[in-house]
Amino acid sequence: MRRTVLPVLLFVPLALLVLGGCASSQSRIPGAPGGQNVPSSKRAPGELPGDETIKNPEVAYNMALEFAGQQSMEAAHHYIELAMKLRPDAKYSYTEGLFYLSEARYKEALANFQRSLDQGPGTQDNRLAVLNAMGVCYKELGQDEEALAKFREVVNSPGLFSRYESYYNMGVIYMGQKKNLDAEAVFMKVVDENPGYYKAYDKLGILEAAREDWAGAAASFKKALDILTQDYGATQSDGAEVYCNYGEALYREKLYPQSRDALLQVLKIAPESPYGKRAKEILAQFGGS
């Protein structure tokens, strides 16, 4: 399965914002998370508690972020759309696009990212963030050439915007197209820009294994593991895959004790996954279980 790196939200911090820090801070909005539990007046269809008191788009915007952080996406969409109604702004369109992207609603996300570009996202860094997000959408829709065009626009543009995400997604597309030399080149750019991005080392290992450079593959997988195992969440989500890849590379290098140790880690993390099945197959070849 192809892995996608989602765009970083440059317009706003990803951390949840409290309403006390936004424009109208005299009191919390009724109906908002942590808001006042007071009766509201009769509302028009489609309105939510607090709508009648919100006149500043930044208040609605901050509420949208807060609801999104609580995974209340219906309310998040409602309040970001209210912000857009109060004042059309590239920031709000981009945020709405990210909400749709997080829900795998790629066509709706694209429409909002395009609106953000049309409205003028401000700095060059913000513009590149929008282009990167559009590339992700096209990639997930299977429109690889459109995705590559957006990613290339990002990586070939000046600015301080980190390009490793676009390079990584380009590499995944190239791997799917069997363009392994192109894929390897862009994954090398990923680790050059972000040496702590373990997924790129894993992909480099896979490419090295494809040309039967098992020693090189083992070294790349080991680099991925050195980074990945510092993060419990990453270990649980990707550890089985990387340990399995590492264990197989070591097996091919006839480093059987080290291979067995790595493959047993797969069984600790995800014994019933496809990687667990593969680990068991390799372990059976030298008497492990």
The answer on 73 and 211 residing in a single domain is no
**pLDDT value, residue 17:** 27
- pLDDT exceeds 60 at position 37: no
**pLDDT value, residue 67:** 94
- Residue with the larger pLDDT of the pair 108 and 40: 108
Tell me if 176 is assigned to some domain: no
What are the C-alpha distances in Å from 196 to residues 13, 192, 209, 229?
A: 21, 9, 21, 12
CA distance 177 to 95: 31
Question: Which among 202, 159, 204 is positioned nearest to 186, based on CA atoms?
Answer: 204
The answer on 152 and 199 residing in a single domain is no
- Residue with the larger pLDDT of the pair 50 and 8: 50
- Residue with the larger pLDDT of the pair 260 and 42: 260
The answer on 39 and 85 residing in a single domain is yes
- Residue with the larger pLDDT of the pair 47 and 86: 86
Taking residues 127-146, what's their average pLDDT? Answer: 96
Taking residues 68-91, what's their average pLDDT? Answer: 95
**pLDDT value, residue 152:** 97
Largest CA distance in the chain: 74
The answer on 213 and 107 residing in a single domain is no
- pLDDT exceeds 60 at position 96: yes
pTM, 2 dp = 0.79
**pLDDT value, residue 53:** 86
**pLDDT value, residue 26:** 32
The answer on 144 and 238 residing in a single domain is no
For 283, residues 6+ apart whose C-beta sits below 8 A from its C-beta are 260, 263, 264, 289
The answer on 199 and 104 residing in a single domain is no
Tell me if 214 is assigned to some domain: yes
The answer on 128 and 72 residing in a single domain is yes
The answer on 147 and 97 residing in a single domain is yes
For the record, the structure tokens of 217 come out as 């593959």
Tell me if 141 is assigned to some domain: yes
Tell me if 172 is assigned to some domain: no
The answer on 10 and 140 residing in a single domain is yes
Cα-Cα-Cα-Cα dihedral sign, residues 132, 134, 138, 144: negative
For the record, the structure tokens of 154 come out as 């990002």
Which CATH number fits the domain that encloses residue 228?
1.25.40.10
**Domain assignment of residue 248, given as a range:** 195-289
Taking residues 70-87, what's their average pLDDT? Answer: 94
**pLDDT value, residue 222:** 98
Place of tokens 């929008």: 130
**pLDDT value, residue 30:** 33
Q: Which of 124-133, 199-208, 248-257 has the lowest mean pLDDT?
A: 124-133
The answer on 204 and 146 residing in a single domain is no
Q: What is the dihedral of CA 28, 33, 38, 40, to 10 degrees?
A: 90
Taking residues 131-155, what's their average pLDDT? Answer: 97
**pLDDT value, residue 38:** 33
pLDDT tens profile 221-241: 999 999 999 999 999 999 999
What are the C-alpha distances in Å from 262 to residues 215, 235, 244?
A: 15, 13, 7
pLDDT tens profile 147-204: 999 999 999 998 777 899 999 999 999 999 999 999 999 999 999 999 999 999 999 9
Tell me if 180 is assigned to some domain: no
CA atoms lying within 13 Å on the CB side of residue 140 = 21
pLDDT band at 121 (very low <50, low <70, confident <90, very high): confident
**Pick from 163, 187, 208: which residue ends a domain?**
163
- pLDDT exceeds 90 at position 146: yes
The mean predicted confidence, pLDDT, of the chain is 85
The answer on 150 and 26 residing in a single domain is yes
The answer on 141 and 9 residing in a single domain is yes
Provide the number of structural domains found in the chain.
2
Amino acid at 220: S
Tell me if 173 is assigned to some domain: no
CA distance 214 to 202: 13
For the record, the structure tokens of 223 come out as 């680099």
- pLDDT exceeds 60 at position 102: yes
Tell me if 23 is assigned to some domain: yes
Percent of the chain at pLDDT above 70?
Answer: 82
Tell me if 175 is assigned to some domain: no
Taking residues 91-106, what's their average pLDDT? Answer: 97
**pLDDT value, residue 5:** 54
